[in-house]
Amino acid sequence: LGFDPSLWRPLGRSPGRPWTFLTFGTLSARKAPLLAVEAFLEAFPTEDVRLVLKSTPSLPLQVYSDDPRIEVINEEWSSEALVALCEECDCFVYPTRGEGFGLPPLEATATGMPVIMSDCTAGKDKLYPRYEIEMTGAETMLWGGRSYGYHPVPSYRGLIRQMRYVYEHQDEART
């Protein structure tokens, strides 16, 4: 797996806007998008910080929160549109419960975005993420009333800790 380096390349981030966390891909239960939402809400109860979750119409994401700082996008987008979204965001969050590879974090890294990512994935060997989420064990994963087998569990507290750290050390994260 790889990416087009003429498209996915280091970007300048837009100044003068709230710090924005992003996750994108086909956001199934295994990608733990709802864990990212819960951690975001606890980590940033009042700060001017945003969270953008971009999934696809084939697996639309429903977030039950009326917090206007959270944006959910369930649309099919081109790679060019995703790159433009990355330019408006500051940190990629990927609390996955397991990945064979993980193309979205690789693409986000290629744009110069720091990545917060579970330490249970094959992709971490390729990305060398600085902000890893430790795992707290494993359990049967349920989504929409169905069981999807036994998967690692990302640390909720570890995710909050990494999100706060990156937010509080923005200059370091940008480097």
Q: What is the pLDDT of residue 160?
A: 98
Question: For residue 3, what pLDDT band results from cuts at 50, 70 and 90?
Answer: confident
- pTM of the entire predicted model: 0.91
Residue-wise pLDDT for 86-106, tens only, equals 999 999 999 988 777 788 998
What does the pLDDT read at residue 46? 95
Please determine, for residue 123, whether its predicted confidence score (pLDDT) is greater than 90: no
Query: Residue 16 above 90 pLDDT?
Result: no
**Nearest Cα to Cα of residue 92 among 122, 65, 54:** 54
As a whole number of Å, the CA-based R_g of the chain is: 15
Least reliable range by pLDDT among 19-23, 31-35, 121-125: 121-125
Which of 146, 148, 128, 129 shows the shortest CA–CA distance to 138? 148
The whole-number pLDDT of residue 33 equals 95
> Average pLDDT of the chain?
89
Distance in angstroms (rounded) separating the CA atoms of residues 21 and 61: 16
Q: What is the DSSP string of the chain?
A: ----TTTS---PPPSSS-EEEEEES---GGG-HHHHHHHHHHH-SSSSEEEEEEEBTTB--------TTEEEEES---HHHHHHHHHT-SEEEE--S--SS-HHHHHHHHTT--EEEETTSTTHHHH--SEEEPEEEEEEEEETTEEEEEEEEE-HHHHHHHHHHHHHTHHHHH-
Band (pLDDT 50/70/90 cuts) for residue 48 is very high
